[in-house]
Amino acid sequence: NAGVTQTPKFRVLKTGQSMTLLCAQDMNHEYMYWYRQDPGMGLRLIHYSVGEGTTAKGEVPDGYNVSRLKKQNFLLGLESAAPSQTSVYFCATRLAGGPEETQYFGPGTRLLVL
């Protein structure tokens, strides 16, 4: 029972390159989220999904795309990376239901864009 895993753990990109971050969960959670964490700022929501095949924009979606083809996986794509996307990216999952449900976070992906 791995919980929430993220791949890769660390990546260096050059400006303009593309990449995909993978979030996988084995808890059968309906909701999945992608956040970014930057120094001096709280976690900010990029995109989220409330179920397989559905995605929605969060607070800072520009420059990112997502897909949720399978319930257990949530992919975050950067089509043309920019230095401003240097950050630590966290995936989170939770059960459907009320706001009292706990979010479970992955270990993070550290991305450096040169």
Partner 1 sequence: KNQVEQSPQSLIILEGKNCTLQCNYTVSPFSNLRWYKQDTGRGPVSLTIMTFSENTKSNGRYTATLDADTKQSSLHITASQLSDSASYICVVSLNSGTYKYIFGTGTRLKVLA
Binding site for partner 1 (CB under 8 A): 4, 31, 33, 40-45, 48, 50, 56, 58, 90, 92, 96, 98-100, 102-103, 105-108
In angstroms, what is the minimal distance from the CB of 90 to partner 1? 5
In angstroms, what is the minimal distance from the CB of 91 to partner 1? 8
In angstroms, what is the minimal distance from the CB of 15 to partner 1? 25
Cβ-based nearer residue to partner 1, 13 or 91: 91
d(CA 99, CA 20): 29
Cβ-based nearer residue to partner 1, 15 or 54: 54
Pairing of strands 19-25, 4-7: antiparallel
d(CA 67, CA 89): 16
Give, as one character, the DSSP assignment of residue 9: S
Sign of the alpha-carbon torsion through 90, 95, 99, 103: negative
d(CA 52, CA 69): 6
Cβ-based nearer residue to partner 1, 17 or 86: 86
In angstroms, what is the minimal distance from the CB of 97 to partner 1? 9
